């Protein structure tokens, strides 16, 4: 399991083999492996005295394809929303590497965990940032992340035995993947509000600048491999669920800043169930 303490979210690591041209870019840097979301790509923070940190994602097989998806989405989103800059990307058969700049600050989760009393203020920041993201012209986004495609992939993962039932949220503890699937299908919305979604709008994927909390701001978002046009509840559900740890005041501050007067409980439940498959 991934530790909950902010201090344990990284560990020292040895460098991984890289293509020669990438090796030049990361020479002399200290490697630390990110322990959050270890089921996907290997993520390393690369540091060097007197230089800004860089982040390297590396993976093979399906993970390599996910890295390719993220590289394309980072490049598309960069002119519109603050994201890491792509320094280097390469794929070699079934293997891929993505090197990016680091955004300033700490994750929203780290901010809230360090100062729980300030959680509503941070929640308002991420609500406002999500509103900006969802305001981008969906018709100009070339990536489709809608429910139809995600349901197909969810079913394929379930049938292949790839769904981690031990990692389900509390609402589905003890459930089988098939039980969550049946619940999800029964809740499937008949309407959607398509917007440009992040796809995994969790507290670990939003960076808050390292200024005094009263003057802080969202410096950008990371982990954009699922970005695409989908119902706005794809992002709202994940953020709402993450904020539950910090209480109803934080959740309400998020909704107020986003500009949503009332949640649609069924759409929320559908998207939370769908997220269990990934």
Binding residues for Mg(2+): 205, 223
Distance from C-alpha of 92 to C-alpha of 82, rounded to nearest angstrom: 29
Does residue 196 contact residue 232 with C-beta atoms inside 8 Å? no
* Residue 260: both structure tokens together: 């949503």
Q: Is 254 helix (H, G, I), strand (E, B) or coil?
A: helix
Tell me the backbone φ, ψ of residue 103, rounded to 5 degrees: -80, 150
Tell me the backbone φ, ψ of residue 144, rounded to 5 degrees: -105, 120
Helix runs in the chain, H state only: 20-26, 62-77, 108-114, 119-134, 147-159, 177-187, 233-243, 248-258, 265-275
Burial class (CB in 10 A: 0-12, 13-18, 19+), 56: buried
**CA dihedral angle for residue 208, residue 275, residue 133, residue 212, rounded to 10 degrees:** -10
Distance from C-alpha of 28 to C-alpha of 47, rounded to nearest angstrom: 9
Does residue 125 contact residue 218 with C-beta atoms inside 8 Å? yes
> Is 200 a known active-site residue?
yes
For the annotated binding site, the residues are 205, 223
SS (H, E, C) 208-233: ECCCCHHHCCEEEECCCCCCEEEECH
The one catalytic residue among 62, 170, 200, 264: 200
Where in the sequence numbering do the catalytic residues fall?
200
């Amino acid at each position: 399991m991934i530790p909950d303490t902010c201090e344990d979210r990284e560990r020292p690591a040895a460098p991984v083999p890289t293509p020669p041209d990438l090796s030049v870019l990361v020479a002399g840097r200290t490697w630390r492996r990110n322990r959050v979301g270890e089921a996907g790509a290997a993520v390393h923070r690369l540091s060097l005295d007197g230089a800004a940190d860089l982040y390297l994602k590396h993976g093979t097989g399906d993970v390599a394809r996910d890295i390719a998806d993220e590289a394309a989405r980072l490049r598309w989103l960069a002119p519109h929303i603050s994201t890491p800059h792509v320094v280097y990307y390469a794929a070699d058969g079934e293997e891929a590497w993505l090197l990016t700049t680091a955004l300033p600050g700490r994750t929203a989760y780290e901010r809230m965990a360090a100062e729980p009393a300030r959680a509503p203020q941070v929640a308002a920041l991420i609500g406002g940032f999500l509103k900006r993201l969802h305001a981008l012209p969906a018709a100009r986004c070339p990536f489709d992340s809608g429910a139809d495609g995600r349901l197909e992939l969810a079913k394929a993962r379930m049938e292949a035995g790839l769904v981690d039932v031990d990692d389900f949220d509390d609402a589905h503890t003890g459930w089988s993947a098939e039980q969550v699937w049946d619940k999800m299908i029964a809740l499937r919305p008949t309407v959607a509000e398509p917007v440009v979604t992040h796809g995994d709008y969790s507290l670990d994927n939003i960076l808050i600048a390292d200024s005094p909390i009263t003057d802080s701001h969202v410096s950008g978002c990371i982990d954009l491999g699922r970005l695409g046009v989908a119902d706005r509840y794809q992002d709202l559900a994940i953020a709402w669920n993450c904020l539950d740890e910090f209480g109803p005041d934080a959740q309400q501050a998020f909704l107020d800043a986003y500009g949503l007067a009332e949640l649609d409980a069924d759409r929320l439940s559908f998207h939370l169930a769908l997220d269990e498959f990934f």
